[in-house]
Amino acid sequence: MECRVIQEMLPACQEGKLEEKESRSVAEHLTVCHDCRKMVLELKDAWDILERWEDCDPPQKIRMGVLSYLADQRKKLWLKLMIPVAAALLIVVGMTIRFSGLQREQQALLPFSGAPMQFSADHLPFDEDEIIANLHVLQDEDFYDAMDELVKIDYLPLIDETDQKGEYRRKSSLEVAQA
């Protein structure tokens, strides 16, 4: 095996976490490779030093400095989280208010089903300027002729009739009168 692979396996070998086959191949490699044996000795020395290590309390000044830094970081994190949440809530509330206002406007424009529609002169459902702009239509004779035809068609009954091919068809009496 290559030294790089063996060196990656050394910590697991020292802890006894390797399978027997891998452990044997590491041991065989250590018998021939001086660099890997040196690394094993360095790892053992490091573990020995860590086992002898005694915990001690840090000086009060350092401890307070670390704790205040962590408190500042929590406040910054709180702000980083709360600003987008507050913005989203503000957007939702604003949209809710706007759309509820639109619904009220639409409901105000819709007539009640049971109540007759009554409009005051100040609140007509149409624009006076639009009516005045369209007055020229009332001066056109074709407009009145078209209206007369529509009135006639509206009052004409339908007549059942068969056409030349013998197919049944409903015609208005106006169609029959014109034919």
Coil/strand/helix, residue 16: coil
Range of the domain at 9: 3-52
Across the chain, the runs of DSSP E, i.e. the strands, are 158-162, 168-172
* Predicted TM-score (pTM) above 0.75: no
Tens of pLDDT along the chain (179 residues) come to 688 888 888 888 888 888 989 888 888 888 998 888 998 899 889 888 888 888 888 889 988 999 899 988 888 888 888 888 888 899 998 888 888 776 776 666 655 545 555 555 555 566 777 776 776 666 667 767 777 776 666 555 566 667 677 776 666 655 655 65
The domain boundary, picked from 16, 36, 52, lies at 52
How many domains are there within the chain? 3
Pairing of the two strands 158-162 and 168-172: antiparallel
Q: Does residue 20 sit within a domain?
A: yes
